Amino acid sequence: IWRGLPTPPLLNPEQSLGQLILGMLGRNRNKIVQISADSGVEVTGAELHLRTVRVAQNLVKLGFGTRSSETIYAMAVRNGEHTAPVMFACFALGIPVNTMDPSFQRDDLGHILTIVKPKVVFCDSETLNEMLAACEVTSITPKIILLGNKIAGYTHVEDLLLPTGIEDSFVPTHFQNPDKQPAILVCSSGTTGRSKAVSLSHSICIAHVASFYGFQSDDVAFAYSSLYWLSGLIMLLAGTAMGATRIITRETFTVQRTLDIVQRFRVSALFIPPTQAWAIVNDPTVTASSFASLRFPFCGGSVVSAALKRSFERRFPGKFLEVAYGLSEVGFAVTLTRKEFYRDGSVGFTRSGVEIKIVDEGNCAVGIGREGEILVRTKLVFSGYYGNREATEEMLDGEGWLHTGDIGRFDEDGLMYDRKKDIIKFGNYQISPSDVEAVVQGIAGVAAVCVVGITQENGNDLVPRW
């Protein structure tokens, strides 16, 4: 078994996320904690605290703030000015929130809606038509609240930001056992069939997501990732908990937009997937000084090749592109590289508070250099797949080990190397082979089909079919 250092979490997991977030915003009340790259609007800790409280209280006023075992909210929004207070209000009320990507089409939205059955859905105005179509197909009738443009007949997030007159009396929800209370339902990668809803408790979100070591209080942090992605959640939770300044945008990635944001705001912590990293490295307008402000460039979400890491570090001397291996069920990276301590193809060392073992087909642990399935164990265990006990029991064994389905090995120095299971990554989207197979199988004349992804250095998978 390979173990990280037994250091405690940076933050106290014996509290709710609402208590943590509102407490940290209160301590950083005069600091600018969020800046919109689109509008230039700056928000202090005190302002974000007030907005969070107002959203929570106005939800209660509308009759949607009561917590129960079946009450879930959902969000399918970009990183706009009001995304954070909505998310934080859910935490403060103690109501679990499912995060979907705003680019989802009706089929994917409908699949997740069927699992979580949310009472309230926050979605961008641009996503409304797809969301309505998904609700119609699934016969689910949530209260829909819009972010972005206002549309007649729908509650808008600005309606939730109106003064209540009782803001000073608000107290965030406290749990006796926060490790048993779900805070976020994230979508799994969908490697064994369609995506499942991974239930992460308040304690896991604090100990794993919000305690991400990469942030410092003087950091300026940026990522394009929506809250559907673990990197987006880390950016929001860890950035806020550590007192960093988060840069947000509703726009999508381009190299020039990235350069503008990094240089205009002096970004020091940057999260990018391999496709974006390759685009940056290969753009002729990018110079060695383009990312002079970067302290912590991080790349993940799919396979980061040694060629990409080396190319990035040659292009930007003195900048180490950190690489990790993680999974939604843990809520964070379980391995992470350490600057110059890297070997081609590795994904880093076991992180603090993590145990990893490699097992053969008979579930027996194997030693250095031997390949096998990667099993992961942490002190805090994920709460299972929401509404899917069978899948939970397949993933999590009686000793607390998570069976990832990925193949990996360790070298003599404790560096791990992994080969991902069959999820396909293309253009920063996760595609389940079974979804593609189902479409092809429906074509007249097709007797059988198998879809696989072939990894390329640019981070996109080629998709041959047989």
Residue 381's pLDDT band (cuts 50, 70, 90):
confident
Q: Which CATH class is domain 10-207?
A: alpha beta
Q: What is the pLDDT of residues 114-129, one digit of tens each?
A: 999 999 999 999 999 9
Residues of the chain with CATH 3.40.50.12780: 10-207
Q: Report the pLDDT value the prediction gives residue 10, as an integer from 0 to 100.
A: 84
Residue 447 has pLDDT above 60, yes or no: no
| Mean pLDDT along residues 363-390 | 94
| Mean pLDDT along residues 424-438 | 54
| Mean pLDDT along residues 422-435 | 54
Write out the two tokens for 209.
């997501």
Residue 460 has pLDDT above 60, yes or no: no
Q: What is the pLDDT of residues 118-161, one digit of tens each?
A: 999 999 999 999 999 999 999 999 999 999 999 999 999 999 99
CA distance 191 to 173: 35
Q: Report the pLDDT value the prediction gives residue 456, as an integer from 0 to 100.
A: 61
Q: What is the pLDDT of residues 216-256, one digit of tens each?
A: 999 999 999 999 999 999 999 999 999 999 999 999 999 99
Q: Report the pLDDT value the prediction gives residue 282, as an integer from 0 to 100.
A: 95
| Mean pLDDT along residues 359-385 | 95
- The three state secondary structure string of the chain is CEECCCCCCCCCCCCCHHHHHHHHHHHCCCCEEEEECCCCCEEEHHHHHHHHHHHHHHHHHCCCCCCCCCCCEEEECCCCCCHHHHHHHHHHHCCCEEECCCCCCHHHHHHHHHHHCCCEEEEEHHHHHHHHHHHHHHCCCCEEEEECCCCCCCEEHHHHHCCCCCHHHCCCCCCCCHHHCEEEEEECCCCCCCCCEEEEEHHHHHHHHHCCCCCCCCCEEEECCCCCCHHHHHHHHHHHHCCCEEEECCCCCCHHHHHHHHHHHCCCEEEECHHHHHHHHCCCCCCCCCCCCCCEEEECCCCCCHHHHHHHHHHCCCCCCEEEEEECCCCEEEEECECCECCCCEEEEECCCEEEEEECCCCCECCCCCCEEEEEEECCCCCCECCCHHHHHHHECCCCCEEEEEEEEECCCCEEEEECCCCEEECCEEECHHHHHHHHHCCCCCCCCCECCEECCCCCEECCEC
pTM: 0.89
| Mean pLDDT along residues 171-187 | 96
Residue 440 has pLDDT above 80, yes or no: no
Q: Report the pLDDT value the prediction gives residue 7, as an integer from 0 to 100.
A: 84
Q: What is the pLDDT of residues 72-108, one digit of tens each?
A: 999 999 999 999 999 999 999 999 999 999 999 999 9
| Mean pLDDT along residues 290-300 | 95
Residue 203's pLDDT band (cuts 50, 70, 90):
very high
